[in-house]
Each structure stands twice: as C-alpha cells, then as structure tokens.
Chain A
Amino acid sequence: MRLAFFGGIYNNHLALATAIADARSRGVDAMWCLGDLGAFGPHPDRTCELIRENNISVVQGNYDHSIGHGLNDCHCGYTDPRDNHFAQLSYDYTLAHTSDDHRAWMRSLPAQQRLEINGLRLLLCHGSPRRTNEFLWESTTNTQFLARLCDDFECDVILGTHTGLHWTRSSDTGSGVFFRPPSPIHQVKLNDGGLKKTPDPFAFINVGVLGRPENDGTTNVWYTLLRTGNDVRGGRSPLPWEVEFVPLAYDHEQLAREMQDERLPDEFIETILTGWWTTCLEVLPSKERTRGRW
C-alpha cells in the first residue's frame, strides 16, 4: 500500500491542492490529513472544501476542535505572550471565516484513527496518542519514550504532526541501545499474568505540515508517503515499511498575495516568503531553535 499523510494545512489551500495532485501522480491508495486545517493562511473554507471534495480522511487537531466548538482560542499550547498574540490573530480570522457547515463537520472528526495495513498497526493522531496538543519534538523525545507509547497504545507505528517539523525514529534508527521491557507501571496494571512486549520494530513519524515551511530558509512545505507490503522498495528499508518525506514546491507567492489582501500579519507573510519562522518560536527546544534564523 501507498499512503499519503498531510500534516497541518493552516489554510494553505494552494499547497494542499498541489499536494493532492502530487500524491495522486505517485499512485497513492489513500490520503489522510492529521488535523489543524486552519490557522496562519487565508480563506479557511477553501481548505475544507478541497479536503471534503477529495475524500481525504481527517483526524481532528486542536485547531479543528477549537474552531468546531467556537472556543475562544486555538489551544496550540504556546506559552509566550508574543506567540499567543499572533496565534490569536490567526485564530480570530479563521473562526470568522469558517462556515457553520464546515464547523459542524470539524466537530464530528475523530481524535485518532487506527488502521491495520499489511499486518502493521498504525495509529494516526494529531500531537501524540495521549494528548491532541502534545509537542513531540525530535530533540526532546527519546526512543525509549516512543517505545512506551507504542506499547501503551498497542500499535507499531504512530503518525502525528502538530510541531510543524517532520522527523521519524524507529527502533532501528534510534540511538540503538534501547531494548525496553514493559514499563513497571503497566506491569502492575496487567492482571492476566502476561507481560506486554514492546512492539519491535516500532516507529514514530511526524509527517510535517503543508501549512508553512520548516524554518530552514526554503519556501517548500512537506508531506509524507508511507509504503507498506509489496510497495516497500526492495533493499531500501530494513523495516516492513518505508517512509519518504516529500518536499513540495507550490505557488507561495500567490499565497503571500492572498494573505496580504486578507490583511494577515506581515510576520506570517515573511515566513511564507523566506522559509524562516517569525512566530511561535518559544516552544522550540534548543536544537530545533538553533537551526532557525530567529
């Protein structure tokens, strides 16, 4: 099987349309979106329409939950006043421009989804399987913790988004030393005499986002292809799956023009045009922050 996974769209309907065409041209069997349709960009309804017209299944992100229920903010989990100021601007814009019909649909989305494909148990979520808006950054999430999540949630592969940066780690590519027996907390909870075994191999995949570039000075955005079964290209992957992160160029200048017309903040437009994040920086851990410009 070939599956395409889109992370946060953040109203970037131009990147979404390009990604759908790109994934189709690669012969994918299905497309998924892991939530956060709104924020940041222009014309929220265009994203919702594209998603629904193309039958893309969606896991509900914190943004979709907030917009769907008309809450007063996005619950992205920012801690800094400046970050919250900008998050609120885009939230208020998105809420005001999302139709009631799309909002009702957002409320109906599942918080996570399980798929069983070629014998692999996939768990699709937004932030982490345990909390919609939990940030799992590459540099602050160790391999043993990922093993615990796969163990606790009884799956082989967890897919999420939320942080805005793609990455993956598997039992095969981690720091190597960590075979992890079931955690003692859960041993205590198990009454059937059996011990749960950490799935091996296991992986976490952050599929990236289509909404904005990755704070690396390039303007492209990212989505993820997952190949399983016979579609794993021989010799390339020692695992029973293969992950390909796809850099996607799209008409970012057109997006910037639309954002200008909608009077969205210059800081956001700068990010689209330069590839560097200008807001929401305070939640980044040191390694990820150091790689950026600001």
Chain B
Amino acid sequence: MNVTEQRLPIIELGSLDELWFQVAGTRCNLTCSHCFISCSPHNDSFGFLSFAEVERRLLEAVEWGVKEFYFTGGEPFLNPELVAILERTLDFGPATVLTNGTVLKPEWLDRLRAAEQGSLYSLEFRVSIDGPTPELNDPIRGPRTFERALHGVELLVQFGFLPIITMARVWDESQDAEILGRFRAVLHLHGYDRPRLKVLPRLLLGAEAKRTCGYSASDRVTAEMLVGYDTTQLVCQHSRVITDRGIAVCPILIDSPDAILGHTLHDATRGFAVTHGACATCYQYGAICTNPSSRSPDAHVRTIDRT
C-alpha cells in the first residue's frame, strides 16, 4: 500500500477546556492489575508536581480561559503538597481529584471541606472501586482494597462530600444495571445515601495490556472514521495534561513518547494523530475521563457556528 495515500486521523485542540495535572506522577500505593499506566510504589517514570509548578500552570491557564482542573496519578494524595495544591486551585476554578480512596486522612478532608465552602467552585472526588464486592474488586486492585476504599468513601461522606464512584467495567456491559444496583445498596449500607456512580470502559494499556492481550492492529481509528464524528467526544479535543516531563495530549497515553507535545501550553496545542489502540476505546465510548456535569454533549445536537 502506498503510505502517502493514507491520511492520518488528526484531532486538533478545539478548545482548551480542561487542564489535567499528573500530580503524583506514576507513583501509587497500589498496583492494580488493570492500571493503564502501570503505576506502583516504585514506578518513577513520572514524578510529583510541586505546588509552585501547579500554581505557575494555573496562572498560565487563566490566559486560555481553561474551565476546569483535574488531578490524577498514580495516587494524588501521595503528593505531600496535594491539599495545598487543591486549596489554591479552587481560587481559579473547579477541581476534580481521582483517588483510590485508601490513603485519605480526616485532617486533609477537613481543610478541603473548608476550601470548597470558601470557593465559588466545586471540588469533586472520584474514587475508583471496581465493583460492589471484595470478590470483584480485590483480585484486580489488591487484597483488602475494597474495604479500605469504602472506608475512604465513608470519610468523604462524613465530611460532607458526595464522591463519584468510578469503576472499570470488569464485567460484561449487559450486567451494568444489575451491578450498579448492587453497588448502590452496598454504599447505602456504608452511610452513602445518594451515591453517584460512573462506569468506565477498560483501557487495554500498561498492566492491563499484559493481563489481557492488549489492542490488535485492527483496533484503530482512521481518518475516514472521523468524517461526521463529533470530535468533542474525545478528551484530546479539549484537554491537555501537565506532567513533570512535559505536556501530554491526554491522561491515557502519557506513557507513549509521541504523546508529550511540548513544554508550554502553546507548544502543546498542536493536533495529535489518534492512531493508538486506546484511541479506538475513546472513539467508541466518548468522554470517558470527564465528569457527567461537564460531559461533552452528544453528537446529534448541532454545534453553533460563530455568528
């Protein structure tokens, strides 16, 4: 086949709406078997972001009119400056932190409760738990992680937060309703009487690629597939990620060398060829990383041109 005939499926950054911070690098207290960037207590491929670095980026983001900020890792709460970072972020806009819920401390939540109350903006916690029972969760996330994460949820609820429980779909999609129902019942028992739940598709990357067989060559987005597709469904159309090794196109691909686009937001606004296997998962499921409150609306509603 003539290579020059193939057009690349390039996604341009349409609008920088969310800025992500790989605030704990690839450091995590857990070693989940499905972690798409293989985080662990010993994975130092990406390091912590400092308070000063985050603050510098928040100021830079003002110029861009960035709407929301997300914090991920690894486990964000391993970063000793995280609480101060979140407090500062709430001066600039809404913050969402993706945590495994196993290391939360009451004194941190006390400060964060006060910070959210004093801010115009929401502080969202997303806690990863992969199912309503230890039998479903622990083989993937590690011994006793179900119990420890639920304890984290209880703490968050005690401090007045309403965490969003996110679960990687480690079951068949047809079982969603049943599993969600069971999960709601379990959370009720733990004092969480209006649970918010979000199911995420699994990404066959990192540790998960070793566990399953990863993506095959046919799991690819092509330029033709993007014709008529609402590209705002893809996180890379409206986000970038600050890491200690540069700015990445999205939180999913930071391990791929081509995903690091530059060191200033300006450098990192160039388009990206969505040729990775994971891109096919994004293509299929859309907006998998953002909160329901800011999900990109569906493709059937017209986008309004500037008039």
Contacts and interface: CB of A to CB of B under 8 A. Distances in A.
A284 B164 CA distance: 11
Contacts, number: 144
A141 interface: yes
A131 B161 contact: no
Interface in A263-294: 281-290, 294
Given A285-B94, A286-B123, A129 B304 contact: yes
Interface in A109-143: 111-112, 114, 125, 127, 129-135, 137-142
A180 B292 contact: no
Contacts of B62: 144, 178, 180
A85 B194 CA distance: 18
A140 B70 CA distance: 12
A144 B60 CA distance: 11
A180 B300 CA distance: 33
B297 A77 contact: yes
Interface residues of chain B: helix, strand, loop or mixed (majority): loop
A100 B292 CA distance: 34
Interface string A47-79: 000000000000000100100000100010101
Contact of A142 (B13, B67, B161, B196): B67
| Contact-residue size bin, chain A (C-beta under 8 Å from the other chain) | 35 or more
Interface residues of B, number: 49
B196 to A, nearest CB: 6
A185 B15 CA distance: 8
Majority secondary structure, A binding face? loop
Given A75-B301, A139-B121, A185 B94 contact: no
Contact of B120 (A65, A138, A290): A138
Interface of B: 13, 15-17, 61-68, 91-94, 116, 120-124, 160-162, 176-177, 180, 194, 196, 198, 232, 265-266, 269, 291-295, 297-298, 300-304, 306-307
25 contacts: A75-B297, A75-B301, A77-B297, A79-B295, A80-B292, A81-B177, A111-B304, A112-B307, A114-B307, A127-B297, A130-B304, A131-B232, A131-B303, A132-B301, A132-B304, A133-B298, A144-B62, A144-B64, A144-B93, A152-B306, A153-B306, A183-B63, A286-B123, A286-B161, A289-B162
